[in-house]
Structure 1
């Protein structure tokens, strides 16, 4: 076995029956475990046991090399720290990063990347390389890698009333943030504070536990945008320091054409995860202005309570009585295959890795369908798009933590009945109870009317007109100035469609559509050298 580790915190520890490389932390039976204390509690055999791994809670990866037997790779329940592997003659190569120039691409994974911004399950963009999916153990036998899922996002729904569930959620939140504050210690919390519910809740829970001097909040965008106004009001009410970082035309053109952006793309790609652009200019400026040491601060984004609490559940799964596996697959495609539309259609077959797992189910209730939908979301979009945005902090040698992805919260919401989870009802209901001055009372849990239902036969032509107008105007009107990554309007217009291997890709969904296009072009240009 050979390895190539980039992050300095991925350190080895000698156990009684082998060696373990570990990065991060986890809790196990009231014990806080890091690499330095791993040998106090575990053997290599313990850490390879799926039943034990199911019990631990944290942000970590493990590379387990027993004295006898096969190497084992483990990532946490949302893959905060990725691991990659490929087979060599007579062994394996393991990495904690992946950008391979000149390596042949996997066409199925490439289509996944183009349409969503990430590859699925254990795939990477490269034919020879695989990655460890969320909540998985991978055993590297001599001739084959064997995967085991040690945690599944599926539980029987609770029969508790909403008041009981709300009280339980509130209790879990406080436990999670009590532990988070202990981990933080004296570090300064750097808080990306938008006008949304998640970062607002994060700020409130932390401010109850930490002095105002231990915070720096920031937001960004075009001067005077509505979200920044809301953000400042929240920061002022909590008496915490607030910074606004302007995203103007000159800034975007400078950054997107810089060597620093090129280096960051290679750092953050991780074998098939779109490099996160949203925070990048802000972290560039904050790092330059403050020159923090990694041990002085911790970035704490609000990723991504919105999904976990039910914000992504589609009504066609939540309110339908007769569901099939095909309904689930269509719902995933509708929600997640957005970045580009291709002709001829290249999205068919992109879910084939999941057919075997789902085909064992014969009955699909709304609860089961929504749990499977959310599990797919966690294992793919959340881990490889949302959580992978942490690479922007790492690139600037800063630390991070994600309290909303604590296992206690994941497990709690996997048990919430769909009627309370849909439209984030229980979440918003509880937030209003906890902080009535900051969160309004939610209206109801009933199904919202979709635009398709509202406009009927006029929906498709109206949708086409809306997107056409949006494509033509957003270069000038976007509140984040995203599309000024291109030096001129004509350059932007040229990117609205492109051809690849005889297939036309058009109707870009958002700025990530353009980033995926540009990144893939550069990768393929390097592959052809």
Structure 2
């Protein structure tokens, strides 16, 4: 029998008698009877709505169950001949006096910001992947992972726009309405960027007649993004607040308080998601965000396709070529793609992933493969790990646009609707927003993103022809990273920005710097998170 250490007060001891259940937002109850086998657990997991995790004892084993987006992490290790399960790495580390940093995990972490598969940053500690049932059998030394739901476009993808849009909207409405009902009288908060996802979420909340909605935006005062966000909130009829991010103020706060957040936010294998930290600190500190408020970021199943040319071109890439596409896209923090491609463990993980999904050389399968890897790895372990920031400040959260119903609706659409640049999705959102508010409005986008596609294509062609594209990109990237509109450079804390200019010009990213600082326990003063 496994031992269990649950550190969060958000676990519900009564929702699933005989097991352990946690939902987001809190208050959701599981669908169906308690499973007693792996097969039953796989079916049971696919029947659940919203975000959840469960620990279920069965005969001879313990089952660890995660939702589609792995929004609530679970970890395990072997201590004294038995399994120990936890929702945070600290209690497991305290039981592992000889704990050592996993070198392969650290390599992946510094290049991607997360660790692939079940591996973590600690030797002998495992994480539960997204949409999985992990079986911990008594007497066995390694976990057995079973996939509950793999994102995949089916062979009969619809090209009927009216039918697809209606089904997608119905799934979104159902998920958001369920979230609003669970929130009850609590405040609902939306980080509002002025982009597509948060605008869609605001329109859906309006359709669900949500009360007490607060939208917040942070960054440089007077920016285009702030103005667009303010206008959206006004048109929806929601309260809106702006948090100015002064770099010096952010830096001082991070030096004083960042270490506690890093301890709470790494989940054993993930770069802590620091972006919202200062805004949340300010809004909870001054009482604007109430304790237990339900935060709804715009994380979504939409937009996980990258390198769309490999889907739309006539030739289907092979396994090795696609593995390189993934490695170049996700393992880019240090700007050293050759090092990643040459890493045997990364290559083995990619091959295991292809075997897991029963690889087939078709364009539909290539699109599914790219998106599922993005969802299972980067979104689950970095983007969705931003929920740890909300929890750190005593807030609840929900991700209705990652509800299983929304996922299944999106999987039914052909490439015309699920394209990489999200053209159809942007039009869908604009139409819904206009019908909901009677207003139109513009989206915020970076300067290059606002250019006409033909103009942008011509500009890029000229730069490439003169071999100036890479140099221009790196100069612009370095300037933006060290003078970020949201003051992200302030999270360097005690480290001077100037010492990283050469590295950033060479292709390294600020995220890569943060990853290395975390591994060295040097990102914020006073941290002692990892074994050294």
Same fold (TM over 0.5): yes
Measured against aligned partners, the alpha-carbon deviations of 1:214-251 in whole angstroms (never above 9, x if no partner) come to: 11111001111111111011112222211111101221
1:337 matched to which residue of 2? 331
Specify whether residues 178 and 325 from structure 1 end up closer, same or farther in structure 2 by C-alpha distance, changes over 3 A only.
same
Q: Distance in 2 between the 1:207 and 1:14 partners?
A: 30
- Tell me whether 1:484 sits opposite 2:490 in the alignment: yes
CA shift in 2, pair 1:69/1:484, >3 Å = closer
- Residue matched to 2:499: 494
| 1:408-419 correspondence runs (5 A) | 408-419=405-416
Does the aligned pair in 1 maintain the 2:220–2:486 contact within 8 Å?
Answer: yes
Compared CA separation, residues 43 and 284, structure 1 to 2 (3 A):
same
Alignment of 1:121-140 (within 5 A): 121-140=117-136
Q: Distance in 2 between matches of 1:451 and 1:57?
A: 46
**SS where residue 188 of structure 2 aligns?**
strand
Shift of 1:374: 0.6
Q: CA RMSD in A?
A: 3.3
Q: How does 1:263-282 map to 2 (within 5 A)?
A: 263-282=260-279
Q: Do 2:25 and 2:179's aligned partners in 1 also have CA atoms closer than 8 Å?
A: no
Equivalence for 1:468: 475
Distance 1:392 1:409 in 2: 25
Query: Separation in 1 of the partners of 2:485 and 2:15?
Result: 52
Indicate the larger mover: 46-55 or 57-66: 46-55
Instruction: Answer whether contact 1:340 1:506 (CA < 8 A) is retained.
Output: no
* Aligned mates of 1:415, 1:447 — CA distance in 2: 31
Quick check: 1:49 aligned with 2:52?
A: no
Q: Is the 8 A contact 1:190 1:299 kept in 2?
A: yes
- The answer on 1:120 being equivalent to 2:116 is yes
Structure number having the greater strand percentage: 1
TM-score w.r.t. the length of structure 1 is 0.86
TM-score after normalising by structure 2: 0.85
Are the structure 2 counterparts of residues 513 and 122 from structure 1 closer, same or farther at C-alpha, using a change threshold of 3 Å?
A: same
Indicate how the Cα distance of structure 1 residues 239 and 56 shifts in structure 2: closer, same or farther if over 3 A, else same.
closer
Structure 1 residue matching 2:61: 3-state secondary structure: coil
Q: Quick one: distance in 1 between partners of 2:502 and 2:324?
A: 24
Q: How far apart in 2 are the matches of 1:302 and 1:14?
A: 27
Match of 2:425 among 424, 427, 430: 427
Q: Any idea what the Cα deviations from partners look like across 1:317-365, whole Å, max 9, x if unmatched?
A: 3334332112321221232122112397244331422313425856422
Is the CA contact 1:247–1:481 (under 8 Å) kept in the aligned structure 2? yes
Residue 91 to residue 364, structure 1, CA distance change in 2 (3 Å):
same
Question: Who is 2:383 aligned against?
Answer: 386
Aligned in 2, Cα 1:440/1:420: closer, same or farther, shift over 3 Å? farther
Q: Does 1:400 align with 2:403?
A: no
Per-residue deviation, 1:461: 4.3
Distance 1:427 1:292, change over 3 A: closer
**Contact 1:82-1:96 at 8 Å conserved across structures:** yes
Displacement of 1:435 in angstroms is 2.6
Change (3 A) 1:392 1:448: farther
**How far, CA to CA, are the matches of 2:350 and 2:465 in structure 1?**
35
Q: 1:172, CA displacement in angstroms?
A: 2.0
Shift of residue 518, structure 1, vs aligned partner: 1.3
In the TM superposition, residue 475 of structure 1 has moved relative to its aligned partner by 6.2
SS in 2 for 1:232: helix
The equivalent residue for 2:363 is 366
CA distance in 1: counterparts of 2:29 and 2:373, whole angstroms? 29
C-alpha distance in 1, partners of 2:512/2:353?
30
CA–CA separation in structure 2 for the residues paired with 1:417 and 1:161: 9
Contact 2:302/2:418 (CA < 8 Å) preserved in 1? no
Q: What is the CA distance between 1:484 and its match in structure 2?
A: 3.0
Higher relative contact order (CA 8 A, sep 6+): 2
CA contact (8 A) 2:25 2:398 kept: no
Q: Give SS of 2:146's match.
A: strand
Equivalent positions of 1:207-356 (< 5 A) are 207-210=206-209, 214-258=212-256, 260-290=257-287, 294-295=291-292, 297-307=293-303, 310=305, 312=306, 314-342=308-336, 345-348=339-342, 349=344, 350-356=346-352
Q: In 2 relative to 1, CA 388–526 (structure 1 residues): closer, same or farther, beyond 3 Å?
A: closer
Say which is worse superposed, 459-468 or 385-394, in terms of deviation. 459-468
Question: Contact 2:263–2:529 (CA<8 Å) still a contact in 1?
Answer: no
Q: Take 2:297 and 2:16, find their aligned partners in 1: how far apart are those partners?
A: 34
CA 1:2 to 1:291, structure 2 compared with 1: closer, same or farther past 3 Å?
farther
In 2, Cα distance between equivalents of 1:447 and 1:364: 32
Aligned residues: 504
The C-alpha deviation readout for 1:496-524, integer Å capped at 9, x for no partner, is 467xxxxx995223x42232121111189
After superposition, the Cα gap between the structure-2 partners of 1:475 and 1:200, relative to the gap in structure 1 and judged at 3 Å, is closer
**Cross-structure match for 2:64:** 73
Instruction: Quote how far apart the aligned CAs of 1:425 are.
Output: 3.0
Deviation at 1:292, TM superposition (A): 5.7
The reply on whether 1:160 has 2:184 as its aligned counterpart is no
